[in-house]
Structure 1
Amino acid sequence: MVRTQHPANLLLAALTLALIAWCGTRSEAAAQGPQSPMRVEQFDHALTGGAGAEQPDDAIEPDEAGPDENMPPDVKKGGDGSAPPQSAQENKQDKIDPSIGEMPLPPPLERPKVLANLYEQLGAAKDATAAQPITESIETLWGQSGSDTVDLLMSRAERFVKESDLDLALKILDATIDIVPDDAEAWRQRAAVHYLQKDYELALADLKHALDLDPKHYKAINDLGIVLEAMGSKKEALEAYRKALAVNPFLDETRRAIEELSHEVEGQDI
């Protein structure tokens, strides 16, 4: 279901898309420019030496984070480009099957309920194998804004982060948040850029806003721990890591970060 957007937001999106189209042409002409191996989604990976990072299998791949820039936005990867796009009504009628790991976009009013159900299933999962399709469903839902325009903006922001053009990525994410201010993942993505720019206070503010929107967004909670640790607030970072693990018990790197910090923090308290 595509969200209703204010005309001013649509104009902002059009201007932003024009900007990134121009920058895309510029980037392709300068293919030898610097490349960064870090995706926005890998904000919680090796930037802090792996502290609080998630296992690679949990990372969102580029084709999961947004539509392929060379494909029509309504055509899924591997699908038939001649097939008509699925209607909002068809999406609404789809059933969610965590065992398959595919997540149709629920109506906006049902999204919190769907996520709450998936978080509950994740917490009750017996092992990592059982948890994997549930986390795939959760993270796919995080990446579905309900707007092809927003999904394109997010994918372009990711591209510019990979190209180390953090200023442009930040402008795109600013525009994205103006269009969908209730999208927790957009706030988390912008926090990642602030973190890469070492603007820890801004990253912290964005992550707190993301968690106001989705209190069990375990990647945002984990990222909060990373930022707090970078700021020297190790006790608060430890609390954040533990909260992330309480939501998703299968974050191996987060568990290791907890083990390391707990000895240090508890030793200081003693």
Structure 2
Amino acid sequence: MDSLFVSSLLEALKNPDETVRDQATKKLWRLWYQQKGIYGLEMIDRSQKLMDSGHTDEAEALLTQLTHEQRDFAEAWNRRAYLYYSIGKYEKSLADCLVTIQINPFHFGALHGLGLCYAALGEYSKAIAAFRRALAIQPYSLVNQKLILECLLRLS
């Protein structure tokens, strides 16, 4: 990935203009999904279709295969984290979020997911820290702002 291009997109996430932020967000997601070319994109697409049709075991197997074949494919780890979160396997989701962030420290989706996992596990201070890290990248994210407030309320 072109680091100058990615840097400009990350900077655009902080722009006061919502249209600029939305376009940058879409471009970053596209880059992340396409990081490993057609093969990676097709595997992620297949896993999503399996999840959508309720075949989570098959989707998990496919994403696990992809994470083994392409260890540095952040989006494969992130998609599996999403799958785990959606079926209530928060510890497994948390682990995959951490791998995603290790590969791509600017992955605001994985940081958001990390916060969701910590919140689901009742670790509200850690959730707040994760949501704040996501906000450092996407300062206009209302959902992360709201989740921080919800976690703060649960701590008090």
In 1, Cα distance between equivalents of 2:99 and 2:4 = 19
- Aligned position for 1:209: 99
| 1:241 paired to 2:131 | yes
| 1:142 maps to 2:142 | no
Match of 1:166? 56
Q: Does 1:175 align with 2:65?
A: yes
Aligned to 2:119: 229
Seen in structure 2, the aligned counterparts of structure 1 residues 117 and 130 have a Cα distance that, compared at 3 Å, is closer
Q: Which runs of 4+ in 1 moved over 3 A?
A: none
Query: Deviations along 1:172-195, whole A, 9 cap, x unmatched?
Result: 001111222111111010111122
Residue of structure 2 equivalent to 1:115: 6
Counterpart amino acid of residue 150 in structure 1? G
Work out the CA distance in 2 between the residues paired with 1:255 and 1:196: 21
TM-score if structure 1 supplies the norm length? 0.55
Unaligned runs of 5+ residues in structure 1 are 1-105
Matching residue's letter, 2:21: A
- TM-score normalized by structure 2? 0.91
Structure index of larger Rg:
1
More displaced 10-residue stretch of structure 1: 135-144 or 159-168: 135-144
Deviations 1:90-140 (A, max 9, x none): xxxxxxxxxxxxxxxx4xxx3x453233212322x1232221111111111
The 2-side partners of 1:203 and 1:119 are apart by 25
Q: Which amino acid aligns with 2:26?
A: E
Q: How does 1:43-62 map to 2 (within 5 A)?
A: none
Distance between the aligned counterparts of 2:64 and 2:48, measured in 1? 13
Read off the aligned partner of 1:120 and give its amino acid letter: E
Letter in 2 for 1:206: D
**Which structure ranks higher in relative contact order (CA pairs < 8 Å, sequence separation ≥ 6)?**
1
Q: What is the identity percentage for the equivalent residue pairs of Structure 1 and Structure 2?
A: 27
RMSD: 1.5
| Structure 2, gaps ≥5 residues long | none
Residues matched between the structures, number: 156
Give the match for residue 194 of structure 1: 84
- CA-to-aligned-CA distance 1:230-268 (integer Å, 9 cap, x gap): 111011101111111111122222211112222332x2x
